[in-house]
Amino acid sequence: MIHNVKLCWLLCFLLSYSCEENNVSQSITVGENEIVGPGPFNSNRLFIKHGLQLLCWVGNENLDVERVDVAYYKINNNDWKLSRFKGATFFVGPTLFNKEFILNDFPETQWSMAKAPYGKHLTGGPIDYEFKNGFLQEEQLMALSRLTSLCIGDEEDYTPDLVKWTRDWFSVSRKHYPDVLLHNNQFGYGGQWNVEQLRGYVRTAKPDLLTYDAYYFLPIGEKIDYYRGAKAMAEDLMMYRNVALEGYDGTGTAPIAFGQYTQGYKQDGAYEISESELRLYYSLTWTFGGKWLNWFRWLQGNNDNGITTPTSWAMLLKDGIPGQPTKYMDWTAQANKESLAIGEHLVRLQTTNVSFKGGSEELTNGKPKNVNHWNPDNGQLLETLEATCNKRDFIGKSGDLYIGSFEIIPDHKNGDPNFFDSSEAEYFMITNALTTNHNEFSAELSQIVRFSIKKNLTTGKGIYIVNRVNGFENKIKGEPLGDRVYFEIEINGGDYAFFVLK
């Protein structure tokens, strides 16, 4: 009898431990406060609810007398509309909100918070009052339905205490604001946190997504490195992608989401990125399976007594002056518009594979150390793949390609498979990673990408391209040759094309 009681007790313990270790919507108690974990596949649920995230750091309209270094300005309504950002990220504390902007000027715009809860780096966890009542203020709660993400802290160095603090703030947020994506953020360039630290954070704090910031096109010392971009960006993305795919228990059965920041400033006017370099942030993030981009940041000259002070750091506005949009505004608005057109697809798909095909010696940026070479047997549908530059500066040469594959998230993982007209559709994306600062426009770096698929895989099916104007899937014509069908597409430098076999 005693043996049976012990056996029963041991079985219950193991089952409860297993539930805690896996992503089950159970709560545990630490001290007197309930620690609320995420529900199953919470990341999928929230991205489908809120859509692809295209955010931008935005300042406040009133000067915070305690922090004279931060941004304070009023955004021109037409400028914001022109940008096509989906949401604003507020970072000026202690109240991470812009009441006029959200409640009056743009009553449908989403919003988020960086350095939550109060605009500073984390130095501790929530107190009892915050556990019981939350931390959002009345005016913030008026727009709670449009609050999509909370970045608890930002760029803190890893410590075990920090992980516990984020876990506890995540718990407060999940209890009081259950429809908000939760994350911390690190800087990239190989990782402010190493892989094991990132894994430990995911296992303990249980964020809904992983994010980092790295700005790949900047002067380095006295030298400007024009070709830093694709290889370095891919290595950072792959690191975060791999940990995100492992999920809370490390098995890969319940992945979470990931994303990165976009370079939205000039280094004191010293380096102006090209269209292909800007495009690369979007293209590689989507190709690797990311679902979150945040533009750092809306740089506008600070408003002092009604006069805007010019700033050479601004990209979207000439010298940061309202009402003077630049080419960067045009490029960014177009990239945002196109991303939103395919965004309903992306949030309902899960990345399954990423590979790299190197270009010619003169143009390759190099293979990322953690991304596999593309080959016909790596499960990405393609039998052959080649690219050739077709513009005058690079005729006969080829740039690097990245290939990403996706599967439809099933219903039991909080997916929305009914969005698609075929449950067996197979999606893939190809990025032309050729970027340079010597050519201003991405069209100058275009490549003709030619790929083939086994003819038997196309029986009763076709290859479609996802239209970046309206999200429709338009069939493209192939060329049968032997046991394969060949397809061609022109992709500009730093840009992507999104396909489906169905």
Expressed in angstroms, the distance from the first to the final Cα of the chain is: 60
Residue 393: inside a domain, yes or no? yes
Its pTM surpasses 0.85: yes
**Beta strand pairing status for 401-408 and 349-357?**
antiparallel
What does 12-38 look like in DSSP terms, one character per residue? HHHHHHHHHHTT-S-EEEETTEEEEPP
**Structure-token pair, residue 148:** 């999509």
CA 230, CA 402: separation in Å to the nearest integer? Answer: 10
Rounded CA-CA distance 459/171 in Å is: 50
Positions of the chain with pLDDT lower than 70, given as ranges: 1-27, 30, 62-70, 219-228, 304-306
Residue pointed to by tokens 């169905």: 502
Phi, psi (deg, nearest 5) at residue 253: -80, -20
Q: What is the pLDDT of residues 77-122, one digit of tens each?
A: 999 999 999 999 999 888 899 999 999 999 999 999 999 999 999 9
pLDDT given at position 307: 72
Domain assignment of residue 134, yes or no:
yes
Q: Select from 332, 314, 187, 320 the least CA-distant residue to 260.
A: 187
Q: What is the CATH number of the domain that holds 97?
A: 3.20.20.60
- Give the separation between CA 472 and CA 279, rounded to whole angstroms: 21
pLDDT of amino acid 395: 94
Q: Residue 441 is part of which domain span?
A: 349-501
Whether residues 303 and 360 share a domain: the answer is no
Whether residue 151 is found in the same domain as residue 171 = yes
pLDDT of 115-169, one tens digit each? 999 999 999 999 999 999 999 999 999 999 999 999 999 999 999 999 999 999 9
Residue 357 domain-assigned (yes or no): yes
Answer yes or no: do 414 and 342 share one domain: no
Co-location of 392 and 411 in the same domain: yes
Whether residue 367 is found in the same domain as residue 336: no
Interior angle at CA 34, CA 157 and CA 44, nearest 5 = 65
Same domain, 188 and 301: yes
Say how far apart CA 250 and CA 426 lie, in whole Å: 26
Point out which residues pair with 353 in neighbouring strands. 405
- Predicted local confidence at residue 43, as pLDDT: 98
Residue 294's DSSP bridge partners are 55, 261
Q: Is there a single domain that holds both residue 372 and residue 309?
A: no
